[in-house]
Homo-oligomer: A and B are copies of this chain.
Amino acid sequence: MSRIKKATIRDVAAAAGVSIATVSKYINGQQSFSAQVEEKLRQAIEALGYSQNPAARSMVTGRTATIGLAVMDIANPHYANIVKGANRIALGNGYNLLVADLEENIASVRQMLEALVLRTDGLIVSSRIPADVIDWLSRLDKPVAFLGKPESGPGQRDLVTVGMDSVEVATLLAGYIARQGFSRIAYVGYTRAAWNAERLSGLRSVFDPASIKLAEFDAEAPTSEAGEKLAARVLLGPNRPQLVIGCNDLVAIGVMAEARTLGFRVPEDIAFAGIDNIPTSRYVWPPLTTVDVHSEATGEAVMQKIIAMIEGRTAADDPTLHPLLVIRESTSHFQGK
C-alpha cells in the first residue's frame, strides 16, 4: 500500500504540464496564477499526494521552521507547562518544537545544544547553564532566548530573557510571610541554580530589615525527593523554623511530606510555602501557599518572542508577567508564632 517513492516537485510539474518554478511559487503562495494553471496544480498535487521536502527547502532558504527548547527537567511540571505554552505558539505559527531534556545535567549541556543549534532557527534555553555556554550561545548568529536571567558573567551581556524576575517573586512571598508575623524561617534552596541567589536576596531584602531570621539549606536537586531527604536536617535541628520556604513547589512539597511523617502538624506546628504554583500544589495536603510564576504563559511569551526575532519583526513588547501570590492552607492557622 505504501508509495515506493515520494512525489517531487518535478513530478508535480510534469503532471500539471508546467515548470517546477511555477509549482514552487504556487506551493509557497507567492503570486497569483491563471485559473487554469491553478486548477491543474491543485489536481496534480492532490493526485500525487505531494508534499514539500523540508530538508531541500531549508537547504536553500537556510531556515528550518523548527525551534529548539532545552529545559532542565521535563518531569518538573513547571517546565512541562513551559513546554506546553511554547508548543502551542510554535505550532500555531508553523514551527516545530525540538525538545531537549537536560536532566539537570549541566556538564553535557554544550554538547546537547550543539546538536540542536544546527537544526533550528532559534533556541530557547534555561538560563541555569554555565557562563561559557551562554557566551558561546550569544556569539552564535542565531536568535537565543533564555528562560530567566542567566548568571551575569564578566561584562553584562545583552541577552534576551523571558520569565519572572526572581527577586520580585521572592520579595512578594517574603512580604506576605513577614506580614503574617513569622519570625524564624528556613529556606531550602538549590545553590546550583542561577535564580537561587536572586531569590535569596529578594527574601533578605524583606526579612533582614524586619529582623526575621533566615536559615539557609541546600538541596541536592530541585525535586521533592531531595526535599524529603533534607527535611530532617531542616526540621530537627536547633531553632526549629516556624515556616519553611522551598526554592520551588516540588522541594516544599517534599519537605512538607516528610514533616508530616516526622509527626509535625502542618501548618499548626510548621508552615510551608513554595514557588512556581505547579498544579500539584493545590492537591497536596495541606494545599501549598506559593507564588504563581505563570509557567505556561512564560512558555507562550518566550516562543512568541523568539519567533518575532527569527522573523525580524520588532517583538510585540511582551506584557511583562508579574508573579501572583497564592495563599493556601499551608500557611494558615500557624499556632506557635
> Which residues of A are at the interface with B, using a C-beta cutoff of 8 A?
1-4, 51-56, 58-59, 64, 66, 74-75, 77, 80-81, 83-84, 87-88, 91, 94, 96-101, 103, 112, 114-116, 118-119, 139-141, 224, 253-254, 257, 279-280, 282-286, 296
Q: Which residues in B have their C-beta under 8 angstroms from that of A296?
A: 75
The answer to whether B98 touches A74 (Cβ under 8 A) is: no
* Cα separation A212 to B142 with both chains bound (whole Å): 62
> Which residues of B are found within 8 Å of A98, using beta-carbon distances?
66, 96-99
Indicate which residue in B64, B81, B96, B97 contacts A75 across the interface (CB closer than 8 Å). Answer: B81
Partner of A51, one of B75, B118, B257, B284: B118
Interface centre among A51, A54, A119 (most CB of B within 10 A): A119
Q: Are A141 and B55 in contact (CB under 8 A)?
A: no
Copies in the complex: 2
Residues of B within 8 A of A100 (CB): 87, 91, 96-97
Q: How far is the CA of A141 from the CA of B112 in the complex (A)?
A: 29
Beyond A54-B119, A55-B56, A283-B284, 15 additional pairs, beta carbon < 8 A: A3-B141, A52-B118, A55-B58, A56-B59, A74-B74, A74-B83, A74-B84, A84-B101, A87-B99, A91-B100, A98-B98, A224-B282, A257-B282, A280-B280, A285-B285
Determine the chain B residues whose CB is within 8 A of the CB of A81 once the complex forms.
75
Q: A77-B75, A83-B74 are in contact. Are A96 and B119 (CB under 8 A)?
A: yes
Contact partners of A1 in chain B: CB under 8 A: 139
Residues of chain B within 8 A (CB-CB) of A87 are 74, 99-101, 103
Task: Name the one of B54, B55, B75 contacting A84, with C-beta atoms under 8 angstroms.
Answer: B75
Q: What residue of chain B has the Cβ atom nearest to residue A59's Cβ?
A: B55
By beta carbon, the residue of chain B nearest A223 is B279
- How far does the alpha carbon of A51 sit from the alpha carbon of B256 in the complex, in Å? 49
A206 to B313, CA, bound (A): 61
Measured in the bound complex, the distance between the Cα atoms of B286 and A94 in whole Å is 44
Residues in B with CB closer than 8 Å to A51 are 114, 118
Q: Which 5 A-B pairs have the closest CB atoms?
A: A285-B285, A2-B141, A87-B101, A99-B99, A80-B80
Contacting residues, chain B, for A254 (C-beta < 8 A): 283
Chain B residues with Cβ below 8 Å from A283 are: 224, 253-254, 257, 280, 284
Distance to closest chain B CB from A291 (angstroms):
19
